[in-house]
Amino acid sequence: MRIHKHSAVAAVAAMLGSLSLLGAGASQAAADDTSVALPSASFRDIVVDGVHDRVFISDPTGGSVVVTDYAGAVVKQITAEDGAMGLALSADSGKVYVALSSVGAISEIDTGTLTETNRYATGADTSPQSLATAGGKLWFGYTVGSSGGIGSLDISVADPTATLVPSGIYWYYAPSLASSPADPDVLVAGQEGVSPATLAVYDATSTGLEKRTERLFTSSPSISYLNDFAVTADGQNIVLAANNPSDHQVVRMSDLSANGSYSSWTFPNAVAVASDGTVATGASDYFVRTYRPGSFIPLHDLSVNDLQPDGLAWAPDDNRLFAVSAFSTGGAPTLHVLPDAGKVESTLTVQAPSTTAKGKTLTVTGRLTADEPFAAGTTVEVTRTDAESPNGTSLGSFPVSMGDFSFTDRPRTAGQATYTVRFAGDVQHTAATTEAVVTVTK
């Protein structure tokens, strides 16, 4: 279920425009959302490979990694991945790395063949649980005994060896890790599941980690029981999802000071940032919300009940959002595919005469609207369907200027002529379709 949010101005404009319509008109909704039950016993992490259009989902209880296509169809379930938890995609999308928490290792999966090609030990008694790439290395958060730590694997060499790296912080458990292509030599670590929450920002160097800043969130804002966090696309901020407070807090990368918040609901538990900066936030038992870059006003509310912690991921260079849900009482996780989660909804209206004489030139006018402007060169495609052309005949494409467009036609067949106007959509706007019906007299 998709619930769209629009500004009051856009809603009023659409209402007023509909009063003058002589042709029937209706907007096409965003592309349909789909939900697919996964062959998994549990869920821990999700990453998206934009080169092969694949989604990788880890299943620690079942010891597997499920791979789907962009429609959610299962392509393969990679088994014998004991305690599969954190996932990380290589910079060239050639490999997916999997933290194998049960056997103290990181596996390497080839994204082309979907087979494990290597496995690297992380050290005696270690349990790697989270992964991120920074500074040309793969970093892992791990537990050992009654505490946690950070280690690295130099994946640029032929035979990588794991190294446990001093981080300058005592971690109660394996810290979660994040990074951003906007600042690829910076690693962010956070302690989840404790109160108050802790974050640290590091420079990832060839010799280890150099701490830039750290913060225990006791006030301004007070943050406890962290569930997920993500670095913004510009590398300047970190968005946090925690049980408390009930908004997704934003803090600056430079000093971890407060820098706003995204409105949310009880128990925020997931956040993901698209390559263009669009933010998706989620909370258990409530909607997933999306926001355009730089805006704290919701773009869409998307109904995904029982969203899992860390259960959001964007397709690179796409407006497609993936979400994983699962009932708290058990049952297989479900993958939700939300194709236009980062797009503004488009609305098409047309105005045409109700009747016209056969062979007489008629003019149809229309308007394409959205909460964000359309780029120069935007066009709509028009098709006429009538008794002479029951399958439709193209009248061509027509430019949209300041939201307005028009076209003329000379129908030559008596009866009903249906003019179908289509906007194909673009990187920021959903597709839209509307129709006008004209009675052609003899």
SS (H, E, C) 40-79: CCCCCCEEEECCCCEEEEEECCCCEEEEEECCCCEEEEEC
pLDDT of residue 294: 87
Query: What are the tens digits of pLDDT across the range 259-311?
Result: 999 987 789 999 999 999 999 999 987 789 999 988 999 999 998 989 999 99
Left, alpha or beta for 415 (phi > 0: left; psi -120 to 50: alpha)?
Answer: left
pLDDT of residue 270: 97
pLDDT of residue 394: 98
For residue 257, count other CB atoms closer than 10 A to its CB: 11
Please report, for the chain, the start and end positions of each structural domain, with discontinuous segments joined by +. 2-29+345-441, 34-338
Which secondary structure element, helix H or strand E, spans residue 322, and what is its range? strand 321-325
CATH 2.130.10.10 fits 34-338, yes or no: yes
Q: How does DSSP classify residue 342?
A: T
> Alpha-carbon torsion 282, 266, 287, 57, what sign?
positive
Question: Position 337: which residue type?
Answer: V
Query: What are the tens digits of pLDDT across the range 102-139?
Result: 999 999 999 999 999 999 999 999 999 999 999 999 99
> Alpha-carbon torsion 402, 408, 413, 414, what sign?
positive
pLDDT of residue 331: 73
Edge to edge, what strands does the sheet with 355-357 contain? 355-357, 432-441, 415-423, 379-385, 393-399
Q: How does DSSP classify residue 11?
A: H
pLDDT of residue 330: 66
The answer to whether the CB of 204 falls within 8 A of the CB of 139 is: yes
pLDDT of residue 26: 36
The answer to whether the CB of 293 falls within 8 A of the CB of 280 is: no
pLDDT of residue 4: 43
> Alpha-carbon torsion 399, 400, 402, 408, what sign?
positive
pLDDT of residue 329: 60
The answer to whether the CB of 23 falls within 8 A of the CB of 437 is: yes
Edge to edge, what strands does the sheet with 279-283 contain? 2-4, 300-302, 288-291, 279-283, 268-273
Spell out the per-residue pLDDT of the chain, length 442, in tens.
444 443 333 332 333 233 233 343 333 344 578 999 999 999 999 999 999 999 999 999 999 999 999 999 999 999 999 999 999 999 999 999 999 999 999 999 999 999 999 999 999 999 999 999 999 999 999 999 999 999 999 999 999 999 999 999 999 999 999 999 999 999 999 999 999 999 999 999 989 999 999 999 999 999 999 999 999 999 999 999 999 999 999 999 999 999 999 987 789 999 999 999 999 999 987 789 999 988 999 999 998 989 999 999 999 988 999 999 998 666 789 999 999 999 999 999 999 999 999 999 999 999 999 999 999 999 999 999 999 999 999 999 999 999 999 999 999 999 999 999 999 999 899 999 999 999 999 9
The answer to whether the CB of 181 falls within 8 A of the CB of 90 is: no
pLDDT of residue 6: 36
Edge to edge, what strands does the sheet with 115-121 contain? 84-89, 95-100, 105-110, 115-121
CA 196 to chain centre: 28
CA atoms in the 13 A half-sphere facing the CB of 377: 1
DSSP-based three-state secondary structure for 9: helix
Does residue 411 have a cis peptide bond before it, meaning omega lies within 30 degrees of 0? Answer: no
The answer to whether the CB of 43 falls within 8 A of the CB of 61 is: no
The CATH class of 2-29+345-441 is: mainly beta
* Nearest alpha carbon to residue 204 among 229, 185, 224: 185
Would you state the structure tokens that stand for residue 402, as one six-digit string?
A: 């300041």
The yes-or-no answer to whether 2-29+345-441 and 34-338 have a common fold is no
Q: Where are the beta strands (DSSP E) in 111-236?
A: 115-121, 127-134, 137-144, 147-153, 162-165, 176-178, 186-191, 198-204, 209-216, 224-231
> Using CA atoms, how far apart are residues 27 and 398, in angstroms rounded to an integer?
18
Question: Position 401: which residue type?
Answer: S
Beta bridge partners of 400: none
The answer to whether the CB of 147 falls within 8 A of the CB of 170 is: yes
**Distance between terminal CA atoms of the chain?**
46
* Nearest alpha carbon to residue 174 among 239, 214, 226: 226
